[in-house]
Amino acid sequence: MEELFKERLRQSRIKILETHYKAGAGHIGSSLSCIDLMGTLFFKEKTNADTFILSKGHAAVALYVCLFITNEITEEILASYYKNGTMLPVHPPPLKFAGISFATGSLGHGMPVGAGMAKARKLKQDAASFIYVLMSDGETNEGSCWEAAHFAVKHKLNNLIILIDKNRLQGFGKTDEVLGDTSSVDQWRAMGFEVVEVDGHNSHEITTAIQNFKKTATTAPKLIIANTIKGKGVSFMENKLEWHYLNLTTAQYQQALEELTKNSA
Amino acid sequence: MRREFCNRIEQLGERDNKVIFLSGDVGFKALEGVQKIFGERFINMGVAEQNMISVAAGMALEGYKVFCYSIAPFIVYRCLEQIRNDVCFHNLPVFIVGNGGGYGYGIMGPSHHALEDLACLGGLPNMTAYIPAFDNDINYTLETILAESAPAYLRLGLGKYNPLLTPAGFFHPVVTPLSAQVTVAALGPIANNVLEALENPAIKDKADVFSVTKLPIKELPQSFVQSIKKTKKLLVAEEHTSVGGLGQSLASAILKENILLNSFISLTSQGYPEGLYGNQGYHQQKSGLDAQSIGKLLESL
B162 assigned to some structural domain: no
From chain A, the residues in CB contact with B61 under 8 A are 101-102, 113, 116-117, 120
DSSP state of B240: S
Query: In this complex, do A112 and B54 lie within 8 Å of one another by their Cβ atoms?
Result: yes
Distance from CA of A123 to the nearest CA of B (A): 8
Same domain for B82 and B150?
yes
Dihedral sign for Cα atoms in the order A54, A59, A60, A65: negative
Residue B217 and residue B190 in one domain: yes
Residues B18 and B113 in one domain: yes
Computed over its alpha carbons, how large is the radius of gyration of chain A? Answer: 17
Q: A198 with A35: CB under 8 angstroms?
A: no
Q: How far is CA A39 from CA A35, A203, A218, B268, in A?
A: 6, 9, 26, 56
Are the beta carbons of A120 and B62 separated by less than 8 Å?
yes
Same domain, B183 and B109: no
- Cα dihedral B57, A39, A231, A245, rounded to 10, equals -30
Whether residues B6 and B152 share a domain: the answer is yes
pLDDT tens string B224-264: 999 999 999 999 999 999 999 999 999 999 999 999 999 99
Q: Which residues sit opposite B182 in a β-bridge?
A: B207
Choosing from B156, B183, B200, the residue where a domain stops is: B156
pLDDT at A265 over 70: no
Q: Could you state, in order of their start, the residue ranges of all structural domains in chain A?
A: 2-263
pTM of the model: 0.96
* Reported ipTM: 0.94
Count Cβ atoms below 10 Å from residue A103 Cβ, excluding itself: 23
Q: What are phi and psi of A222, to 5 degrees?
A: -110, 145
Structural domain containing residue B136? 2-156
Q: Are residues B124 and B42 in the same domain?
A: yes
**Final residue of a structural domain among B130, B156, B182:** B156
- Domain A2-263 class in CATH: alpha beta
Q: Of B2, B52, B64, B74, whose CA–CA distance to B32 is shortest? A: B2
CB contact under 8 A, B55 and A119: yes
Domain of B129, CATH number, reads 3.40.50.970
Report the alpha-carbon distance of residue B19 to residue B123 in Å, rounded.
Answer: 26
CB of A119 within 8 A of CB of B55?
Answer: yes
Considering the domain boundaries, does residue B165 fall inside one? no
Q: Assess contact for B227 and B221: CB atoms under 8 A.
A: no
Q: What is the dihedral of CA B17, B97, B49, B53, to 10 degrees?
A: 50
pLDDT tens sequence across A161-220: 999 999 999 999 999 999 999 999 999 999 999 999 999 999 999 999 999 999 988 999
- In tens, the pLDDT along B2-51 reads 999 999 999 999 999 999 999 999 999 999 999 999 999 999 999 999 99
Look at residue B150 and tell me if it is in a domain.
yes
**Is the CB of A144 less than 8 angstroms away from the CB of B51?**
yes
B42 vs A contacts (CB less than 8 Å): none
Look at chain B and report how many structural domains it folds into: 2
Asked if the Cβ–Cβ distance from B46 to A151 is below 8 Å, we say yes
B46 contacts in A (CB within 8 Å)?
147, 150-151
Asked if the C-beta of A118 comes within 8 angstroms of chain B's C-beta atoms, the answer is: yes
Asked if residue B90 and residue B204 are part of one domain, the reply reads no
By C-alpha distance, which of A87, A91, A65, A49 is closest to A8? A65
Distance (Å, whole) CA A103 – CA A74: 19
Domain boundary among B156, B179, B199: B156
Which of A97, A101, A109 to mutate to test binding with chain B, by most B CBs within 10 Å of its CB?
A109
| B164 inside domain | no
Q: Which long-range contacts (CB under 8 A, 24 or more apart) does A254-257 make?
A: A256/A17, A257/A14, A257/A17, A257/A18
Residue B298 makes CB contacts below 8 A (sequence gap 6+) with B182, B184, B197, B198, B203, B206, B207, B235
Answer yes or no: do B8 and B137 share one domain: yes
Element (H, E) at B186: strand B182-187
- Among residues B166, B284, B160, B180, the alpha carbon closest in space to that of B223 is found at B180
Shared-domain flag, residues B148 and B210: no
Tell me if the bond preceding B216 is cis, omega within 30° of 0. Answer: yes
Distance CA B106, CA B239 (A): 12
Q: In whole angstroms, how far apart are CA A107 and each of A85, A104, A112, A144, A171?
A: 25, 7, 11, 9, 12
pLDDT confidence tier of residue B203, bands split at 50, 70 and 90: very high
Strand order, beta sheet including B65-71? B42-44, B19-23, B65-71, B94-99, B152-156, B128-130, B214-215
Are B203 and B243 in a shared domain? yes
Interface test with A, best of B51, B67, B78 (most A CBs within 10 A): B51
The pLDDT of residue B168 is 72
Q: Give chain B positions within 8 Å (CB) of A114.
A: 58
Q: How many CB atoms lie within 10 A of CB A185?
A: 14
Contact A233, A13 (CB under 8 A): yes
Tell me, yes or no, whether B18 and B137 share the same domain. yes
Q: What is the CATH number of the domain that holds B278?
A: 3.40.50.920
The pLDDT of A242-253, averaged and rounded, is 91
Q: Based on the domain organization, do B229 and B185 belong to the same domain?
A: yes
Alpha helices in chain A (DSSP H): 2-23, 28-40, 60-69, 75-79, 110-123, 143-154, 175-178, 185-191, 203-215, 250-263
Instruction: Give the per-residue pLDDT at A264.
Output: 63
Chain B residues in contact with A121 by the CB 8 A cut-off are 62
The answer to whether residue B132 is domain-embedded is: yes
Residue B157: pLDDT over 60 = yes
| pLDDT at residue B56 tops 60 | yes
pLDDT band with cut points at 50, 70 and 90 for residue A70: very high
